[in-house]
Amino acid sequence: MGASGEADTDTDEGSGDGGTGEEPEPQVVPAPAGLRRLLGAQYVSSVRYLLGDEAAAAAVPPDDQALGGLDSIGAAQLPFPPTAIEQFERSAMDVASAAVANPEVLATTVPCVVDGPRDATCYERLATDFGRLAFRRSLSPEEVDAYVGIAIDGMNWEEGSFEIGIQYALAAFLQSPNFLYIVELGQEREDGLRELTASELATRMSFFLIGRTPDAEVLDLAETGELETDEDVRVLAERLVGRPAARETFKQLYAEVLRLRDLEFKGKDAELFGNFDEELASAMRDEILLVLENLVFDEDGNFLDILDTERSFVNPRLAEFYGIEAPDASGWAPATLPAGQGRTGILTRAGFLSAFSHPALNSPTRRGLFVQESILCNEFAPPPPGVSTTLPEPTQDTTLRERLEVHMEDAACSSCHLQMDPLGFAFEAYDPVGAYRTKDNGFPVDTSGTVPGVGSFANASELAPLLKQHPQVPGCVIKTIYRNSIGTVETDDQFEGLIALEDAFESSNYSMKQLLVELTTSPLFRLVDAPK
Amino acid sequence: MHFLRKRSLSRRTMLRGLVGGGLVAVALPPLEAMLDANGEALANGEPLPKRFISFFSGNGFILDEFEPTQAGADWQLSPLLEPLAPVKEHINLCTGLANRCEDLITHHEGITAFTAHSFIARGDLPGFASDAGGPSIDQVIADALARQATLPVRSIQIGVSKFDSPADNGTNADTHSFRGEPGNLTPLPPEANPLAVWETLFGEFVPKPDDRQLRMSILDVVREDARRLGSQLGTKDNQRLDAHLQALAELEQKIAAMPPTCEIPGMPTLANDEVNGQERLVEVNQVMADLVAMAFVCDITRVASYRLVPLAGEAVLSEAEPASSDTHHVVSHNAEYSQSARDEFRSNIRFVMARLNDLIATLSATNDVEGNSLLDSSIVYATSDCAVGWNHTVRRHPVILAGSGGGYLKQPGIHYRAIENDPDDPNGQNDNGMSLPTTGNVSDVLLAVLQNYDPEATEIGSGDPRSETPLTDILA
């Protein structure tokens, strides 16, 4: 169960004699060295940084492939299917063509693209200087030659020109495994542990915190020995966390965790919920993400407040949905949700409630399972073989809750469902699109419940503080961030590192910004195990 | 007309000479001019092409309404199979065979009916997670066909509905197409956007400036980068890089391939981007069926995997009659006790069968360049992730086969029934084996099918699902 539970640890056990030698390091077996494919969003953001907006508009990466519910884990483990490689080729051609037509951004790295000389010496600058940004490291002379060769072939082609040479060399860089994978090999330290090289660390930090390939300046830091000590790392991490892109990257992470990404495609029963269209669904998603952004980046508040915050943001469409006055402007504004609806914490907001329900029915099981798995990091096995997972047909009209309570009578079901369904019952005051209700199927809803290890509550507002104070929540936040940062699922081997992060998280009064920074200095982040 | 087409008379010579001479020859569309005098083989002695489609649609059936009462040659379609009436003479139906997957995670075991391997549970991942235990039948067949001919596209993966299960994950839940060896598999995800499918199959062959030599040079550089990288990586990442290199080699073959001599279909206009409950599955399915049929005619590929509804899929089949308003998965469960849900489940299953019919009928109505119906040279192997939607039993895992695969399967087809179902408990569960009579091994069907494409194959799969006894009853 990793870092959840007890919070004290003896950091003196760390091996303080190797590496950067400041704080004693917690002893961990880090995730293995190796390859992680760029996620689609990382690919597009990297293209935007390297080649500009027009090039980014032409960038169409293949779909991400999740594993264990997270794209980042799939990125660390799965091979590319052949269709992805073809898609990368097409995308590279289109991006390169757009970049040559709009060379301003490229010219900031390789001025000769615009200023000349229009000859092979410029191709060499392109291979050397653009190549370094694309590969996040300096190229070997061999590698430079290979890419210059492509550019010269392009120039000599029957329809070729100087620009065509640039274009095909760019297309080549964008197809190289050195670009498409984040390569994290590490190098052995004196104490035998493997540590990311400074360039690899800069790259890992950049993708983690701002969702794209590192800046030239960040690579400079790494290459000039200014990214060595924990303090160096901390300073850079704080700078990156301060950028606007850090907000977007963090919101993408939580949109994935809260399954809000595809909310507008989820679809609800048109007869029952005709108001649930793509515009409303995306407003529901944005509300929760704005609450998170505001809490983490504007206020640097206690992250656990997400579970009991009263804060909201609405646009006119969402204001209408919640039944409050629309903001003056057409955009988003802070709002107070109706007092009687008990919308305490992000789990009571329409976006979460819509994401975790069926098209026509609530799913207390799914809502409860999310709380157990993703807020508390408890794990559940699939239903045992042969068990009917179907609810009996009610003998008379009743609420969904009463039908679900059958799960609790059957011993084969109750061991798990007693821990899931009652958590979900707390949200029975909200329908499948998250609208407030007092009746289900014509009968009064019952939002009370008792859950082993959580406590008793009358409704979602009472559940909120129980969750917020639950000792597993901070550790679960850390696991969520750690899993996503490098695409791995923690094991006992990472326990000490996670515990150290939990201590730091607690001492910072649960500042997410500080947690993000702290993770980058952790051996969990800076070290790698043998290549996988 | 493609600007290269005028050169097509000397294609084979051309190919050898293309881009510096380093290329392998690419299989060419079997023109009539290239057939032997009897039209039974290509002039160079290669057999006529055989095609294969594996069809998957999640959430199972209602066995006692699905399995026909009469076995043998004189069988009649059951009410749930009725939508297949237009193609019934082309169908061989197998019932009563056990799916011998050694583990159960509700729905995941169904994939064994496409692989003959048990899945590998992924306890290290959250949710209900498993990886496939071995390559799937479409990819084993694609491997066999690749040894006979090199085609522009090795196989194509089609998706229709986009709405999968939020609770199930791991590669085994994501697709039913896996390439490689046990322990080193590349999952091949289905593509549900017809435009992307068109791009994969035909995009290479539309007129554009001929920069193929440059693209090949790029692939050479990229390949060299991958090789350098590989020397520093461990086994797992080297396997990933090998898959990458293999994909580059196949892309190169495609770039080198000459445009087919068929009419390239226009790009579809349907993007299949509707929200759940508004998916145009009838139309999307037909467009996908047309694309696969055209790719077969053009001999761009001979293998497809085809997924209508994902594993434990949460698509709302709003075009079923009467229309469904909840997800197919939820309906499949509620059908156990609720009469209204049972009605809904029936109409959903009939909807799925009607889409399978559309695919089969499209193959039947489309002729290849020899003038024969594509269905004559194809086998469609179709089943679900379980036999009974609400209890996920796989003890009687039905398989629908369509087409003769080049005179290999019986036509008109039969209903092969391994053992009669128990009329008192026709939809019984996995844990109560005796209540649901079963025998044999669904992998016997897989092996029989495989031997049509690879006569040398003597076995398929591993562990309990492994088979070395092909089901011969359905062979012509």
- Tell me whether residue A262 is exposed, middle or buried, using C-beta atoms within 10 angstroms of its C-beta: 0 to 12, 13 to 18, 19 or more: middle
For A446-499, the pLDDT digits (tens) are: 999 999 999 999 999 999 999 999 999 999 999 999 999 999 999 899 999 999
For B169-222, the pLDDT digits (tens) are: 999 999 999 999 999 999 999 999 999 999 999 999 988 889 999 999 999 999
Does A278 lie at the interface with B, CB-CB under 8 angstroms? yes
What does the pLDDT read at residue A399? Answer: 87
Q: Residue A144 corresponds to which tokens in the numbers above?
A: 């430079």
**Is B218 close to A143, i.e. CB distance below 8 A?**
no
Chain A interface, best mutation among B244, B272, B348, B390, by max A CB count within 10 A: B244
CB A89 within 8 Å of CB B203: no
**Is B247 close to A82, i.e. CB distance below 8 A?**
yes
Does A216 lie at the interface with B, CB-CB under 8 angstroms? no
- Whether residue A408 is predicted with pLDDT greater than 90 in this model: the reply is no
Give dist(CA A178, CA A186) in Å, integer. Answer: 15
Please compute the mean of the pLDDT values over residues B304-314 and round it to a whole number.
Answer: 97
The 3-state DSSP class for residue B120 equals strand
For A160-219, the pLDDT digits (tens) are: 899 999 999 999 999 999 999 999 999 999 998 999 999 999 999 999 999 999 999 999
- Chain A hits for B200, CB-CB cut-off 8 Å, are 83, 86
Residues pairing with A430 in the sheet: A436
Q: How confident is the model at residue B354 (pLDDT cuts 50, 70, 90)?
A: very high
Q: How confident is the model at residue B29 (pLDDT cuts 50, 70, 90)?
A: very low
For B375-429, the pLDDT digits (tens) are: 999 999 999 999 999 989 999 999 999 999 999 999 999 999 999 998 888 898 7
| Residue of A81 and A267 predicted with greater confidence | A81
Please compute the mean of the pLDDT values over residues A8-31 and round it to a whole number.
Answer: 57
Closest Cβ–Cβ partner in A150, A259, A271 for B217: A150
What does the pLDDT read at residue A16? Answer: 39
Which residue is closest to A394 within chain B, CA to CA? B338
Residue B214 CA to its chain's centroid (Å) = 34
**Is B188 close to A390, i.e. CB distance below 8 A?**
no
CB B125 within 8 Å of CB B173: no
- Tell me whether residue B283 is exposed, middle or buried, using C-beta atoms within 10 angstroms of its C-beta: 0 to 12, 13 to 18, 19 or more: middle
**Is A78 close to B171, i.e. CB distance below 8 A?**
yes
β B415-417/B91-95 pair status: parallel
CB A441 within 8 Å of CB A272: no
Residue B167 CA to its chain's centroid (Å) = 24
- Whether residue A7 is predicted with pLDDT greater than 80 in this model: the reply is no
**Is A388 close to B429, i.e. CB distance below 8 A?**
yes
Which residue is closest to A269 within chain B, CA to CA? B325
What does the pLDDT read at residue A17? Answer: 42
Chain A interface, best mutation among B124, B150, B218, by max A CB count within 10 A: B218
- Chain B hits for A379, CB-CB cut-off 8 Å, are 126
For B31-81, the pLDDT digits (tens) are: 444 455 555 566 566 778 999 999 999 999 999 999 999 999 999 999 999
**Is A143 close to B225, i.e. CB distance below 8 A?**
yes
For A296-335, the pLDDT digits (tens) are: 999 999 999 999 999 999 999 999 999 999 988 779 999 9
Percent share of chain A, pLDDT over 70 = 93
Residue A259 CA to its chain's centroid (Å) = 11
**Is B337 close to A265, i.e. CB distance below 8 A?**
no
- Chain B hits for A358, CB-CB cut-off 8 Å, are 314, 326-327, 330
What does the pLDDT read at residue A4? Answer: 39
CB A153 within 8 Å of CB A168: yes
| Lookup result for tokens 């104070």 | A469
**Is B222 close to A177, i.e. CB distance below 8 A?**
yes
Does A383 lie at the interface with B, CB-CB under 8 angstroms? yes
Give dist(CA A412, CA B334) in Å, integer. Answer: 19
What does the pLDDT read at residue A410? Answer: 76
**Is A359 close to B240, i.e. CB distance below 8 A?**
no
Chain B interface, best mutation among A60, A86, A403, A480, by max B CB count within 10 A: A86
Which residue is closest to B336 within chain A, CA to CA? A390
**Residues A478, A484, A486, A487: what is their CA dihedral angle, to the nearest 10 degrees?**
120
- Chain A hits for B301, CB-CB cut-off 8 Å, are none
What does the pLDDT read at residue B127? Answer: 81
Closest Cβ–Cβ partner in A176, A373, A393 for B225: A176
β A455-457/A449-451 pair status: antiparallel
**What does the mean pLDDT of chain A come to?**
92
Give dist(CA B123, CA B125) in Å, integer. Answer: 5
What does each C-alpha distance from A465 to A307, A309, A345, A421, A471 come to in angstroms?
7, 10, 9, 19, 12
What does each C-alpha distance from B194 to A104, A125, A502, B283 come to in angstroms?
36, 41, 48, 11
Q: pTM to 2 decimals?
A: 0.91
Q: How confident is the model at residue A387 (pLDDT cuts 50, 70, 90)?
A: low
**Is B325 close to A491, i.e. CB distance below 8 A?**
no
Q: How confident is the model at residue B469 (pLDDT cuts 50, 70, 90)?
A: very high
Q: Residue A454 corresponds to which tokens in the numbers above?
A: 């959580």
Closest Cβ–Cβ partner in B186, B326, B429 for A360: B326
For A41-99, the pLDDT digits (tens) are: 999 999 999 999 999 999 999 999 999 889 999 999 999 999 999 999 999 999 999 99
| Residue of A396 and A279 predicted with greater confidence | A279
Closest Cβ–Cβ partner in A79, A83, A264 for B200: A83
Beta strands in A289-398 (DSSP E): 311-314, 333-336
- Chain A hits for B174, CB-CB cut-off 8 Å, are 65-66
Give dist(CA B101, CA B464) in Å, integer. Answer: 7
Lowest mean pLDDT among A403-407, B4-8, B48-52: B4-8
